Structure 1
């Protein structure tokens, strides 16, 4: 199973058009960004801990839990959307690997 931190449509709309176009034109980079939003295992909201979490992409996301949950600075705005292969948490920004 996987945990996906899925940006809203509004989150994608905040990404500058030139940056989004460049991502869509570069499949390797696009894959890296998309898999950066995915964490191995099914992590429900109640089980989220502050700290560093490895992603499918290979880098780590930074999770903060003070004043609501944030992932690399993106606010988690909906939680525990159960899917057949894991769980989805909705975030308000697109997060990019460093």
Structure 2
């Protein structure tokens, strides 16, 4: 976990120095909500490293299945560092967490899959009273943003 946090701090520092869309978003966009919630600091670092801040700050609407810091901590540090250091792989992974359109929890439970912004589908199921996105459990729903909605997941979902 320390490696992840140190790497996240490095990414945040590097992004702040580099400029170009790296400032902390303001308002009630998806990007701003993620930027202002300490539970999403690793996600924020990844979004910044992938150059997706402006995307998640734009008009949308988007539905984001947002992994927490604890979700990122489940990935072995070597694998996570490899992903974080490969901008295209990172962009693809992050866009796999984004579904175009605003999909509420009430709508999600009626779906069996959804097409993500990276062009692949996520599997949606119900298991033991929980909604699952692939193998990730949805732990919080319907965090409303001006450009979409966030559902929190307990694991990083992978294609």
Q: Supply the distance in 2 between the matched residues of 1:53 and 1:95 (Cα, whole angstroms).
A: 13
Task: Say which structure is richer in helix.
Answer: 2
Q: Supply the distance in 1 between the matched residues of 2:151 and 2:113 (Cα, whole angstroms).
A: 17
| Relative contact order, higher structure (CA 8 A, sep 6+) | 1
Where in structure 1 do 4 or more consecutive aligned residues deviate above 4 Å? none
| Higher-Rg member (1/2) | 2
3-state SS in 2 of match to 1:57: coil
**Number of matched pairs:** 97
State the TM-score, normalized to the length of structure 2: 0.59
Root-mean-square deviation (CA, aligned residues, Å) is 0.9
Shift in Å, 1:51: 1.1
Q: Supply the distance in 1 between the matched residues of 2:73 and 2:152 (Cα, whole angstroms).
A: 15
Correspondence 1:54 to 2:115: yes
Task: Say which structure is richer in strand.
Answer: 1
Q: Deviations over 1:36-68 (max 9, x none)?
A: 000011001011123121000110000002422
Runs (5+) with no aligned partner, structure 2: 1-60
State the TM-score, normalized to the length of structure 1: 0.95
